[in-house]
Amino acid sequence: MKLTVDDLAILGGRPAFAEKLYVGRPNIGDRTRLLVRLNDILDTRWLTNGGPYVESFEGRITELTGVKHCIATCNATVALEIAIRALGLVGEVLIPSFTFVATAHALQWQQIRPVFCDIDPKTHCMDPRSVEAMITPRTTGIIGVHLWGRACYVNALTEIAARHKLTLLFDAAHAFGCSDRGRMIGSFGEAEVFSFHATKFVNSLEGGAVVTNNNALARKLRLMRNFGFTGYDKVNYVGTNGKMTEVCAAVGLTSLEALNEIVEVNRRNYEVYRENLDVLPGVSVIEYDPTEHNNYHYIVAEIDPASAPLNRDELLAILLNENVLARRYFWPGCHRMEPYRTLYPNSHLFLPQTERVAAQVMSLPTGQTITPEIIRAICDIIRAAFENAGEIRKILEEKTAV
Ligand code: T4K
């Protein structure tokens, strides 16, 4: 389908897509197998609290990542919270600002200050030089984030953590099924945290997990996930209710069975996007290293305002009008969100690359519901918008002036 500017809804036409195209549309595994599992759960009436489906889900995660222990949780935010608590982090912890706000909230929730570090604009991951520069006597840990599923600077962060005697944890919410120098993500640092939220390529409706090779830590995490109970009527820690339900585990197991299929679809989509977007002025799709395992879950396009005819936000407005709900993850950066911008008003002074990248990045729809034809049509909209940038900009300016 070749669009002309007349087809662009912002100029009066009908949206190119009759139905909304979402980033994060859930992938669904084999329904028949899922329904068998759900019936079994209902028949046995074991719904949560250490049931067999959670146990097998945890077993599959350990097999796939090669990590000794998996503690499945109700979501990754709670997984981060209990990992942070079990590791004894206090005071200040270094994290990137360019991440989903849950990374910061998991610290602030327990009165630990997230100290925001800048990113390397090439990888969008926390820059080890910024990490080193932000260490103070109050720093107790570092949380590296494998953004978009691409491993962050694991070696450099491990070395910095060891030299400064800091605890290293990874937020691997995006990175299930990905590797770093051939080793599956999950076994780096003291522990790593995965998300299996509905919008992730493998999902358990809501869900997360902490994985670790540390036996004592694993035991502590299991207790903390279940109120700190060490036996009937006996509590040893301040715990929470972080348990995954049997239904979530059944969805997760079914989703894991489709893992290779979903990755294949994501990889195909990624290649079609690259083919069609990388040729446009000022547009580049972030690269995944083909020598690593990748889940290709995020299609992230960078729009360089210096060379693209329209900027990121102008393109988003066009796409939205065409029913393409692209997202500007992770704009404007945690440091510009409350409570952080009030609590730590000077953070932006240390985050020039974060500010620049956050203003240029958009995430595009992919997953099982998105076909190469849809992607070509989305890319055609962007091309047509660029070709008519002058006219479009005028209309957008008039709209915002009203
Ligand atoms: N660390 C990092 C680095 C993370 O990215 C995340 C979560 C976490 C930690 C915490 O993990 P969890 O505690 O959530 O397990 C979404 C997800 O809710 C969130 O899990 C994810 N990262 C983040 C990047 O994306 P929103 O605010 O964008 O969600 P929402 O509701 O706008 O959904 C995104 C799109 O997906 C929508 O446009 C519609 C579509 N959608 C969504 C759902 C839930 C569907 O089509 N069907 C659905 O059922 O955060």
Q: What is the pLDDT of residues 225-262, one digit of tens each?
A: 999 999 999 998 899 999 999 999 999 999 999 999 99
pLDDT for the residue 2: 45
- Ligand 1 atom nearest residue 25's Cα: 46
39 CA from centroid of ligand 1 (Å): 28
Buried b (16+ CB within 10 A) or exposed e, 321-357: bbbbbbbebbbbbbbbbeebbeebeebbebbebbbeb
CA distance 105 to 100: 9
pLDDT at 13 > cutoff 90: no
Chain-centroid distance, C-alpha 137: 30
Closest residue (by CA) to atom 12 of ligand 1?
76
pLDDT at 11 > cutoff 80: no
How many degrees, rounded to 5, is the angle at CA 367 between CA 272 and CA 57?
Answer: 140
* H runs (alpha helix) in 324-388: 340-343, 352-358, 372-387
193 CA from centroid of ligand 1 (Å): 15
pLDDT tens string 55-64: 999 999 999 9
pLDDT at 392 > cutoff 80: yes
Q: Would you say the CB of residue 23 lies under 6 angstroms from ligand 1?
A: yes
pLDDT at 152 > cutoff 50: yes
pLDDT for the residue 4: 61
In this structure, how many other beta carbons lie within 10 angstroms of the beta carbon of residue 14? 10
CA distance 58 to 209: 8
pLDDT for the residue 277: 98
Q: Would you say the CB of residue 321 lies under 6 angstroms from ligand 1?
A: no
Are the beta carbons of 191 and 217 closer than 8 angstroms? yes
CA distance 54 to 289: 32
Give the residue-averaged pLDDT of 103-131. 98
pLDDT tens string 180-196: 999 999 999 999 999 99
* DSSP letters for 6-46: GG-GGGTS--S-SS-EETTPPP---HHHHHHHHHHHHHHT-
199 CA from centroid of ligand 1 (Å): 5
Nearest to 191 by CA among 51, 49, 63, 81: 81
Please, what is the angle between helix 101-108 and helix 76-86, to 10°? Answer: 40
Residue 41 CA neighbour count, 13 Å, CB half? 21
pLDDT for the residue 16: 87
197 CA from centroid of ligand 1 (Å): 7
For the chain, what is the mean pLDDT? Answer: 95
| Token code pair at residue 384 | 């047509």
- Strand-pair category, 167-171 with 139-145: parallel
Give the residue-averaged pLDDT of 124-141. 98
Written as one letter, the residue type at 372 is P
Are the beta carbons of 47 and 361 closer than 8 angstroms? no
pLDDT for the residue 1: 41
21 or 16: which carries more pLDDT confidence? 21
pLDDT at 12 > cutoff 70: no
pLDDT at 398 > cutoff 90: no
pLDDT for the residue 237: 84
Q: Would you say the CB of residue 366 lies under 6 angstroms from ligand 1?
A: no
Q: Taking the model in full, what pTM does it have?
A: 0.96
- Ligand 1 atom nearest residue 330's Cα: 24
Interacting residues of 96 by C-beta distance below 8 A, sequence separation 6+: 103, 116, 117, 118, 119, 125, 126, 145, 147, 354
- Strand-pair category, 208-212 with 69-73: antiparallel
CA distance 327 to 324: 9
Written as one letter, the residue type at 214 is N
Q: Would you say the CB of residue 294 lies under 6 angstroms from ligand 1?
A: no
Ligand 1 pocket test: pick from 21, 84, 100 the residue with the most ligand atoms within 8 Å of its Cβ: 100
Ligand 1 pocket test: pick from 107, 197, 203, 299 the residue with the most ligand atoms within 8 Å of its Cβ: 197
Positive or negative: CA dihedral 122, 128, 132, 134: positive
CA distance 354 to 219: 37
Q: Would you say the CB of residue 22 lies under 6 angstroms from ligand 1?
A: yes
Q: Would you say the CB of residue 75 lies under 6 angstroms from ligand 1?
A: yes
CA distance 77 to 195: 8
Ligand 1 pocket test: pick from 101, 199, 201, 295 the residue with the most ligand atoms within 8 Å of its Cβ: 199
Q: Would you say the CB of residue 192 lies under 6 angstroms from ligand 1?
A: no
